[in-house]
């Protein structure tokens, strides 16, 4: 489709209807407080078709999609906190389409960017792009804008056997990451991908191509859940153990609830 004006009107209409629906969808009350617009546009989730001259680049397409969606969502719900773009590219050399959105004067003047988000599957726990993104935000007049990492893990490989994901270092790795994130003042939230149990097969809705389907942090046994904590018994692989650069402390698996949610 080469008529972006027509496409924008349709896109705004869809977003408006969704935002209005979420105002009363939860027993007559609000369901949605934050809206993350776009998802990994630079990793094949937004494609400009061959011969499509509606936009000059993928970044322009992402920027326009964001602008139209944010404008519609704001009109439908003035209290909705808007942001994005959930980019899969993260600095310091590139941030994908996010800098284009951050630099859009219309988005800024309209107050349509209240947080930014990205995804990170970098193995190195100490690898920090948060400060780099904070600098980009500051140089574009968004000093202190909240940053969310809406997907993260050690790797993004379906069926991985890496011990940081499904083995003996999963619990320790995730704990270390959460501690690190909590020490970043501009980081306002993160989402580990995923938190499915390590002993239950994913259903067709949860499973997908190139998706992590188990994490190794807990198991489900009937109506109870068992949290997998570091264990010095190297033969006990049900919950795993944390053999790190510090020490090994025996902590057996503990029930953490009576209901599966």
CB–CB of 72/15 below 8 Å? yes
Which pLDDT score, from 0 to 100, does residue 110 have? 95
What does the pLDDT look like over 60-110, one tens digit per residue? 889 989 999 999 999 999 999 999 999 988 877 789 899 999 999 999 999
Residue 199 forms part of a structural domain? no
Residue 216 C-alpha from the chain's centroid: 19
Q: Kindly indicate the confidence band of residue 247, based on its pLDDT and cuts at 50, 70 and 90.
A: very low
How many domains does the chain divide into? 1
25's torsion region: left (phi>0), alpha (psi -120 to 50) or beta? alpha
Indicate which CATH number applies to the domain containing 75. Answer: 3.20.20.80
Q: In sequence order, what E strands does 76-205 have?
A: 81-87, 115-120, 147-152, 187-192
Which of 6, 107, 16 is closest to 62 using CA atoms? 107
Per-residue pLDDT tens over the stretch 175-201 = 888 888 888 999 999 988 877 777 766
Residue 10's domain comprises 4-152
Question: Is 200 among the domain residues?
Answer: no
Query: Does residue 39 fall inside a structural domain?
Result: yes
Does the pLDDT value for residue 160 go beyond 90? no
54 within some domain:
yes
Residue 183 inside a domain? The answer is no
Residue 79 lies in a domain: yes
């Amino acid at each position: 489709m080469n008529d972006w004006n027509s496409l924008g009107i349709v896109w705004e209409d869809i977003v408006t209807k969704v935002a209005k629906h979420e105002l009363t969808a939860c027993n007559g009350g609000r369901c949605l407080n934050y809206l993350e617009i776009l998802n990994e546009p630079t990793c094949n989730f937004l494609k400009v078709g061959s011969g499509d001259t509606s936009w000059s680049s993928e970044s322009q397409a992402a920027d326009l999609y964001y602008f139209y969606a944010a404008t519609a969502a704001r009109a439908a719900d003035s209290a909705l906190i808007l942001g994005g773009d959930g980019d899969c590219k993260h600095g310091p050399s590139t941030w994908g389409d996010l800098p284009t959105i951050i630099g859009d004067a219309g988005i800024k003047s309209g107050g349509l960017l209240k947080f930014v988000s990205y995804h990170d599957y970098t193995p190195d726990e100490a690898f920090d792009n948060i400060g780099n993104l904070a600098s980009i935000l500051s140089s574009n007049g968004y000093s202190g804008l909240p940053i969310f990492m809406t997907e993260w893990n050690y790797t993004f490989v379906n069926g991985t056997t890496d011990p940081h994901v499904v083995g003996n270092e999963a619990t320790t790795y995730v704990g270390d990451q959460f501690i690190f994130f909590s020490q970043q003042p501009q980081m306002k939230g993160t989402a580990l991908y995923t938190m499915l149990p390590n002993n239950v097969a994913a259903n067709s809705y949860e499973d997908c191509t190139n998706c992590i389907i188990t994490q190794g942090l807990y198991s489900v046994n009937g109506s109870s859940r068992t949290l997998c904590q570091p264990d010095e018994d190297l033969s006990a692989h049900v919950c795993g153990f944390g053999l790190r650069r510090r020490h090994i402390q025996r902590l057996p698996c503990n029930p953490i609830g009576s209901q599966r949610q």
